[in-house]
Structure formats: C-alpha cells, structure tokens
Amino acid sequence: MSRRQFSVPVRNEPGPPDDTGCTILHVDMDAFYASASLLSRPDLRGRPVIIGGSGRSVVLSATYEARAFGVTSAMPMARARRLCPQAVVIPPDHRRYAAISDAIMATFATFTEHVEPLSLDEAFLDVSGAVRRLGPPARVAQMLRDTIADEQGITCSVGVAASKFVAKLASGLAKPDGLLVVPRNETVAFLHQLPVGAIWGVGERTEEQLHRLGLRTVADLAHTPVETLQRALGDVAGRHLHELAWGRDPRPVERQRQEKSIGADETFAHDVDDPAVVHRELLRLSDRTAARARSAGMSGRTISIKVRFADFTTITRAKTLRNHTDVSREIHATAVELFDRLGLQRARIRLVGVRLEGLAPSSGTPIQATLDEPERGWRDADRAVDRASARFGAGSVRPASLMPEPSGSQDGQPDLS
C-alpha cells in the first residue's frame, strides 16, 4: 500500500473478530530487505539502518528506526542521509533476498496452492482449502506468521479479509509484525472510516483530485454519484474506485505466473563516458541477471540492454540468440556487443541495464554448449559460484574485474553496492 500511514479503525464489537468467509490473506514482510540484511548483522538490531548504495542511488529499504526520521524506500540516498545522518548504511545483497523470498514462497505453498506473488516480499493467498485442515483463517494466518519467523528469522504482517483489496489494506494497517482481521459484515464500516488516500491505487495526484471534489474519506467517495467520479477521473477509474469504496472486489487470487523477463540495472554514482567502465558494469549486471535466472530455474533467448544518458534520454537494444542461455559470460558478451554497436563517442551515461527475455524453464530447454567452452564449462563455473554464494554470501566469488577498486580510484566508477 501507499507509504502514507493510517490508524487502524477501532472496532466496537467485543471479543475476537469473526473471520467466517475471510479466506483471502495478504502477507507482507516487514521491512524485508532491511530485516534480511540484519540476519548477518544482529548487532544493528534496534538501530536506524538503511539498505542502499552511495552517490545517486536510492534507498532500497530501511528499518523502522530509520523510517521514524522520514526515510522511505525509493528516496535518494543523499536525502536519506540528511534526514538520518546517524543511520548505518548497508549495501544490498540481492542473492540473499532472492533465496529468502524463494523459501518464503515455498512456505506459502505448504499452506495453499493458491498463491499470487506481488513481489519478492508480498503475496496474496486463498486459504479456502486450508481452513478444512488447519482451522479458521485467522489461525492459519498466525501459523503462517510463526512459521516464517521460526524458519527465516524475520517477521511479516498479515491482513485477513473476504477480498484482496481489503486484505491488502489490513496488512498495511497491521504493520509491523501484526495481524488484522476485517470481518466480512464489517467491511463497509471498516473502509468508510479511512481517508481516501488509503485506497489501493489512489496515489498522491488522484488523492489531490478527490480532495478538490471535497472527498476526504472513503465514505465521502462511496456516497458520491459514480457519474461525478467518472467525469473527474475517467470512466474506468471512477467506477473502479466507487466499487472499492463499497468493498466490492471480486478478483480471485491468481496462481503464480511465469516471469516474462529477468534483469537488473544500475545508476552510476557519476555520469560516465568511459566504455571500459560501462563494460565492467555490464559484467556485474549480467552476472546478477544470470544468477537470478538460474535461481528461478529459467533461461532466455533474448538479451537486451538499456542505456540512459545524462539528459535522461533512454534507449534499448536487443538480440535474440539461437539457443536459450543462463550463462553469465554469454549474457555479458551479448550485452557488450549491443552496447558497442551504439558507437557512442564520449556520451555521458547515467544508467545501464541488462535483461534476459523470452524465458522458459531450464529443465525443459536444451542449452547448446559454445565451441570455446571447455569440458568443464562456463555453466559449471556459474553453478559453482551459485553454491559458494549460497553458503558464504553474495560476492564471495566474483570475476577478477569486479573486485573492489583500491582506495583513491578515479571518479566515474559505478556504484557497485
């Protein structure tokens, strides 16, 4: 939900809430990237910690202690450091996040096969089938929370409701480390106490439009003629928000769909114009992309790059290979080829990205060995790196050209965190 915070409406009914028919769960990990990073730094628990790089990078996550100072995800790191100068900054560990996310999704699958991931750290679950085995939805939600805490050492918040929309609202209101049930027959009363900005999909601009109409609460929105909302917001958005304001959300939980692409990009600490620096960054991004593909059991045929210049102009280029691949070296070679074809002469580059598309399960896709691949090839080497990273942490094994630069290196080096 929005990063804006709202108070949990007070229930007037005594006793635990009735969770009958509330079989939709929204599970959201609490400050996931920060919590996962602190697993190896328990000494930092209870302190303001920011996950991010340096220079012009943005905040990936922050502990609640740092959020108390106004630090939010996607905030420029420079601003975050000004807001909370005492915070400890930790570089992200994407391999660790992916591994923990995989384990969490596997835990979800032990409760129900109806899981719809939204990102690495949140998902919808339909536990209709699980209640017959495990008990009422609220009990299932608590068992799930306990399992994740025991197995992964991090916490999550869960919203329990009769629809996806209300469950997602509830999980946000339960944070951190909480569980909130919205009974089916109290859905409208629950919603109508909230500000319009609480509705999933209402961003700051839409909220401003609603405020100009004099609509401050969800109740205001619900009692506004749908035609008025359609004139102000458009036919589709106006009717959609009106339906949500009355708690009407018939969307089912959709089982996990296959990713269409896997990739990574990086903003340089300073604009760069040295092809060698770009080649080096493409290697790092290719290595990360290939590792994510192997972790997901996928390979791809199309490799694309993204280049953003200092004036924010962005271009993309792609090449489709004869065979699928998940090999870092092959992805990097293609990415460099695409970049070099651009023929850029001293162009100031702000960001580059690498993406693997046309994905298919690796187990069912033959991957052709290249002529220059030794008997124990690059694919075996990649998998050895994966095993080492899983055991000793991301970056424990890396290409020599990606070793940290000695102190006093020149400006224009990319942020390698």
For the annotated binding site for Mg(2+), the residues are 28, 121
Cβ 278 vs Cβ 350: under 8 Å:
no
Annotated active-site residue in 65, 113, 116, 122: 122
**122 has catalytic annotation:** yes
Interhelix angle for 378-392 vs 328-341, to 10°? 110
Cβ 166 vs Cβ 249: under 8 Å:
yes
Three-class DSSP category at 31? coil
Residue 113: DSSP 8-state: S
Interhelix angle for 94-111 vs 275-295, to 10°? 20
27: β partners:
123, 158
Q: Distance between CA 209 and CA 100 in Å, rounded?
A: 40
Q: Give the long-range contacts of residues 202-210, CB within 8 A, separation 24 or more.
A: 202/2, 202/241, 203/2, 206/233, 206/237, 209/233
Burial of 251 (0-12, 13-18, 19+ CB in 10 A): exposed
So which residues are the catalytic ones? 122
